[in-house]
Chains A and B, each alone.
Chain A
């Protein structure tokens, strides 16, 4: 270090301005990279927040839907869930279930009992392009398995992120 600071030959002197400019360009490139990364992260979190709110409103709407209502307004009927999920789903009921919502919003509904013994998946019969990502929101519900058995469960809406929202 001592040798370097006392070197009077001025080998680097003529190129000082080039080194300074190179450092400036490098600094700017690093700054632009950091700023664009921060912007992308902010976009992703803003999309997640907006979509979560939408998924949550869809979940609340489905939890109160008359199409799933059991013997009381606050109950979801397992029998009606059976008719909407699985291979033997009623196509007409499924179409009425999803036609309440805009065709531009793609989602799937999962309903499960708290102990995980019963799980229902409700999704549109014709799914086109594979989804790029998903945001999920859940609401607690009470499931009516039969007239004498009611169990707590969860209704989850998985909202898919498609090309339009990417």
Chain B
């Protein structure tokens, strides 16, 4: 009882001092952790933007070829200076019929940039496309050998055959637009595909 009375009558304010300093230490720890987290997040955002820039560049090439009214063939070379930042890390590029995906493993963290081309993409060479169409429909689909089938069937068949293809950044990428021709009893129709291959 005497101790409590002493404590209540103590005017040295040591409790006040301990509490305020503890609160200050805690607040400082929280602020330092928040600043550190903010810096790490900004670094991640910067790396994500770099990957987005790489995928957008490839996407623009594919879309430009896809928008051409004629059959064209261009080659794309990956910018070595930009990729030099990722040489020490494991960077993989995949192209499927629907997306371009760049996957970078930076210090154990996986950063992904995925973009969807506006046009139909088949990630194989023209000879593979011709062989695939000939094996299924008996025609290669070029202007001299149009396919006797509905265009939706052919698109469905090619979509089902398309997998993810890995791209080597040290090699050139060929981006080629070709037309697949269809014929019914009356009309000849065509549909454009962008072939992306190495």
User: Please, which residues of chain A bring their CB within 8 A of the CB of B69?
Assistant: 61, 64-66
Interface residues of A in 35-66 (CB under 8 A from B): 35, 39, 46, 50, 53-54, 57-58, 60-61, 64-66
Q: Tell me the bound Cα distance from A14 to B21 in angstroms.
A: 11
> Interface SS of chain A: helix, strand, loop or mixed?
helix
Check if B45 sits within 8 Å of A39, measured CB to CB: yes
The closest CB in chain A to the CB of B64 belongs to: A57
Would B24 and A58 count as touching, CB distance under 8 A? no
User: For the complex, is A18 an interface residue (Cβ under 8 Å from B)?
Assistant: yes
Contact yes or no, B35 A28, CB < 8 A = yes
- Decide yes or no: A28 and B34 within 8 Å by CB, A15-B20, A21-B27, A105-B116 being known contacts: yes
**B31 at the A interface (CB under 8 A):** yes
At the interface, yes or no: A100 with Cβ under 8 Å from chain B? yes
Chain B residues, CB < 8 A from A103: 98
Interface residues contributed by chain A, number (CB under 8 Å) = 32
Q: Are B152 and A95 in contact (CB under 8 A)?
A: yes
Known: A15-B20, A21-B27, A58-B67. A99 touches B152 (CB 8 A): yes
Interface residues on B, range: 35 or more
Q: Please, what's the 1-or-0 string for B21-32, where 1 marks a CB less than 8 Å from any CB in chain A? A: 001100110110
Asked whether A102 lies within 8 Å of B151 as measured between CB atoms, the reply is no
- Scan residues 10-45 of chain B and give those whose CB is less than 8 A from a CB of chain A: 16, 20, 23-24, 27-28, 30-31, 34-35, 38, 42, 45
Is residue B189 within 8 Å, beta carbon to beta carbon, of the partner chain?
yes
Return chain A residues, CB-CB under 8 Å to B117. 102, 105
State whether A100 and B98 are in contact (beta carbons under 8 Å apart), knowing that A54-B118, A61-B67, A95-B152 are contacts in the complex. Answer: no
Whole-angstrom distance between the Cβ of B104 and the nearest chain A Cβ: 19
Interface membership of A151, Cβ < 8 A: no
Contact B116 A102 (CB under 8 A): yes
B192 touches A (CB below 8 Å): yes
Which single member of B30, B49, B66, B191 contacts A57 (CB below 8 Å)?
B66
Hey, which bits of chain A sit against chain B, CB under 8 A? 14-15, 17-18, 21, 24-25, 28, 32, 35, 39, 46, 50, 53-54, 57-58, 60-61, 64-66, 95-96, 99-105, 164
**Can you name 22 A-B residue pairings with CB atoms under 8 Å?**
A14-B20, A21-B27, A21-B28, A28-B34, A35-B38, A35-B42, A39-B45, A54-B59, A58-B67, A58-B118, A60-B67, A61-B69, A95-B152, A99-B120, A99-B155, A99-B191, A100-B191, A101-B119, A101-B120, A102-B117, A102-B119, A105-B118
Additional A-B contact list (13), CB under 8 Å, known A96-B191, A102-B116 = A17-B20, A21-B31, A25-B31, A28-B34, A32-B34, A32-B38, A50-B56, A57-B66, A61-B66, A61-B67, A61-B68, A99-B120, A104-B116
In order of increasing CB-CB distance, the 6 nearest A-B pairs are: A64-B69, A61-B67, A57-B67, A104-B116, A57-B63, A105-B118
**What residues of chain B have their CB less than 8 Å away from a CB belonging to chain A?**
16, 20, 23-24, 27-28, 30-31, 34-35, 38, 42, 45, 49, 52, 56, 59-60, 63-64, 66-69, 97-99, 116-121, 151-152, 155, 189-192
